[in-house]
Structure formats: C-alpha cells, structure tokens
Amino acid sequence: MTAGTASASTPKDSLVVGWQFDDIITLDTAEVFEFSGAEIVGNSYDRLIGYDPNDVSNIFGVAAESWEVSDDGKVFTFKMRKGIKFASGGEMTAEDAAFSLQRAIILDKSPAFILTQFGFTAENVKDKIKAVDLDTLTIETDKAYAPTFVLYCLSSTIASVVDKEEVLKHEVDGDLGFAWLRTHYAGSGPFKIEQWKPSEIVVLSANKDYWDGAPKMKNVFIRHIGESSVQQLLLEKGDIDIARNLETEQLKSVSSNDHIDLLKKGKGALYYLSMNLKDPILAKPEVQEALKYLIDYKGLEETVWAGRGQVQQAFLPKGFLGALEDQPFSLDVEKAKKLLAKAGYPDGFDIELIVRNAPIRIDTAKSFQTTFAKAGINVKLIPMDGKQVLTVYRARKHQLFFGAWGPDYQDPHTNADTFAKNLDNSDDAKSKPVAWRNAYAPKEMTKETLSAVLESDAAKRASMYLKIQKEHQKQAPFAFIMQEQEVAGVRDDVEGFILGPSFDNNSYKDVVKK
C-alpha cells in the first residue's frame, strides 16, 4: 500500500492504537502513578468527580451525582449516582466509594499523598471517610480547604471506585486485594480491561451496561510499538487507527497525507531548567537571571518543539486557575553578559547539566549548550536514563537539571506546592518537593502558598496565584520553558477520540468510525 491509500485494515467495530506504554507497572487504582497506566484506568473506572476536558473549571459529578459542603468547610457529603454497575454485576454504593479511598490511604502507595494531604491516615481514615448509608458518602478534612481543591483531588486516578466485594474476594494476608488487582479488573467504567501483556498489548472491551451510554467501539486494541517510525508506517498503511508517539519529523511527514488528521491538545506537563542553590555559582541571583536570558525560547518552540509544545514561563500551565501567561524572558546575550559580570563571572564558568536520555530533552539541552556558550558558559551535558537522573536530582547532587513536571490534579496547588513551597530545607527533611531539590526555601512565598490553598473565593484565589508566580519568575532558580502539546495521528475515518488536559482523561469512549 502507498501512504495515501485508504484503509479497511482494522475492523469497523474496533479501534487499534499504536502507543509506547512500557511504563505500565500496575493496574491497581491505588498504585497507578504512570502516564500510560493512568490512561487505561481513566477509561475503565469511574471516579467520584470529573471535569470538562475543554474547560477544567466545569466540575461535575460522576460516581457521585451531587455534593454539599458543611458550613465550616470541612465535611463533604456526596450522594452516589444510582444505577452504576460493576463488571461483576453488582451495583455501586457509597460503601464501595468509602472502601476505595480508605484502601488507597491504608496501602500508602506513590499517589497516596493526593489524599493524605487532607489529614487522612491509616489510623483515622475509617472515621474520616465513611458511608452513612448506601447512597451517602462523607469525607471530613482536617482544615477548610478551597472546595475546588478537594474536588479536583477526587477527580484524580486514585479516587477511582473499585468493587469492594470483588476485590476482597481476592484478599491475601490482609493485602486488601492488592496482589490481585495489580493485574486484574474490578471497575465500572465505559471499558473493561480484558488483557494486559506488559510491553505488548492492552485489550479493552465495551461495557454494554455503562450508565452513561455504551461505547460504540466493541474493543480497543492498544499495541505497544516502541519505534515512532514504525507507528508512522502502520498508520499510513491503515494497520492502526491512531499513532500516539510520532516525533517532529514524522508529524511533518504525515501532515500531507489526506487520510491522516493530527489531533492536538495542550497538556499540563511543563519542561523546565532548574539550578541547585547549593552550588555557590548558581546561588547568585544575577547568575540565575542571566541563565533565563540565555535560552532561545522561541527558537526551541519553532524547531525542537515544533507542533509539540508552546512557550510557558510560569509554574502553572496555561488553562489552570490563576495561570500567569507573561513571557518576560527571551534570548538576550548582552543582557546576560552584564548580569554575569555583575555576579563576578565576566568570562563565564564551567557547569554540568543532567538530563534524561530522550530525544526531545537531549535536543533541548544541546540548545542550552549552544546559547550559554555565547556568554562564556561551558555546559557539560550528562545524559542518564530516567531512573538515574531522578536519583541524582532527588538527592540534590546536581548543578543544572532539565526535565518535566506534570500536575497530579487540575488544581493550582499541585504545582505551587511543588515549586513555591519548602517548609524544611535541611538535607533530612521529610517533605522534599522540587523547591527542596534545588535548595530553594522562600519563606514568604511558602506562607502565601499555604494561604492560597485555603481561599474559597475563586477570583481571590486566582489573584493570589498570579502574585506568587510573578515573584517566582523574578527570583526562583527555575526557568520554565515549554508546555507540552500532545499530538496524535488519527486515520480520517475515526472520530471522537479525546485528548484531555491530563494523561488520565484521554478518552476512547466516544470513538466512532465513519
């Protein structure tokens, strides 16, 4: 077949997706914390709360049909939606919702902090989160947080509702069904997980009894295809309906194919350069500012990131409440040289930059290397695999680091808590956010971040985050560079595939084939 040949290779009632999903390590909703696994769970489980992927401010009930907040702002009472059935045939109740949240906190896996930040512990959770009756769930937080903050956390993957009876059937030695659910399914979502073979295939089948309407696709076959060039070839031949990992050159190539559409969506992931203030050179404010003026933001957007990213220079992604879209920095070598001279480095200096060994990250880091050299800064790039680079970064043993951060939920606190708050800057601190990793401990900004999460008025809260970000842009050791735009190549007979603002709300439910 030629690249432009129309296809009839995939079944009309099934969707075939080419995707690199070798990051999936579990399908247990209490443990899933990887991009690919979260997407699978997002298509197969109902969560208490959802939001419009095109307007995240539009929050609505999913498994919870409605809710009320007590006068003191600490007790949330949810009425469960009637008529939701699990794959086992059992009907969902408030008991299932309470069990799911309690279970996540008791198991205490990687994403548990999304819930424990409200004061829940293994010891108190059954008193703080409970089913009053089959239709009513109550959640009592330790403080009166902004209601939307609580609700956004309940829209995250960890708030997925599992079938209590089915899960406990498979409990072994008090593990709450953990060993079983890592590779099995106990949900109520639009699709059922039929099969998962690591780094090979995921098979989803339509839930014909789904409360919000059964999917049109009988099956979704997700094939692990690690090479993006192979994804392109199979997409052009029609052997797959959607390609998820096309690189910049391949996107350019398929853009002229009449049978392929490019679906684009801005995501919450931000790519940034960070500077460890433990380093005496980087600790100087003039050096930090100089580096921000030695990045070719627009050039990167037009070349390395063409079609896959847009410049964003603040710690909140565009689309979030209170996101600052000002872009005060651009490549200005002369200004950077003056700042370096003021800092005592008129001839520049030598520095190391650690980066994950992935094409787009390496290419971006090479751009830094080129532009920094114009001011006499000699950058030694140290590529590492993902595990290695995170180990060094989390131990704050780097000088410069280039990487990405993706929000855990659609509330601004998720990133403010990460980049603008540091309660304890000691090496043995219990809490180690990204600010801590770079020895950045802004006392006043930390106070402002803690205040913003408690503000219930959305307009006031947005203005608080704008203020924090403006100050952060000026004095924090971070240069935010690019906000990711996800791009999928889609055959022109496929409609309804949704790329959401977060990795866990990309959706296959409304896909149809013409």
What does the DSSP assignment read for 364-408?
HHHHHHHHHHTTT-EEEEEEE-HHHHHHHHHTT--SEEEEEE--S
Which tens digit of pLDDT belongs to each residue from 1-39?
A: 333 334 458 999 999 999 988 888 899 999 998 888 999
Q: Say how far apart CA 469 and CA 475 lie, in whole Å.
A: 10
pLDDT the model gives residue 7: 45
Residue 152: CB atoms within 10 Å: 25
pLDDT the model gives residue 305: 94
Angle 227-228-232 from CA coordinates, rounded to 5°: 125
**442 token code pair:** 């802004």
Residue 270 · residue 480 · CB < 8 Å: yes
* H or E stretch at 479: strand 478-491
Q: What are the beta bridge partners of residue 91?
A: 85
Q: Match 């080129």 to its residue by tokens.
A: 370
pLDDT the model gives residue 4: 38
pLDDT the model gives residue 1: 31
Q: Say how far apart CA 360 and CA 318 lie, in whole Å.
A: 21
pLDDT the model gives residue 354: 98
**pLDDT > 90: percent of the chain:** 88
The 8 Å CB, 24+ separation contacts for 439-447 are: 439/276, 439/277, 439/278, 439/396, 440/277, 440/476, 440/477, 440/478, 442/475, 442/476, 445/420, 445/421, 445/471, 445/472, 446/420, 446/421, 446/422
Q: Which of 348, 363, 218 is nearest to 294 (CA)?
A: 348
Residue ranges of the chain with per-residue pLDDT less than 70:
1-8
Angle 12-16-21 from CA coordinates, rounded to 5°: 165
pLDDT the model gives residue 364: 97
Backbone phi, psi, residue 168, to 5°? -70, -20
Residue 310 · residue 487 · CB < 8 Å: no
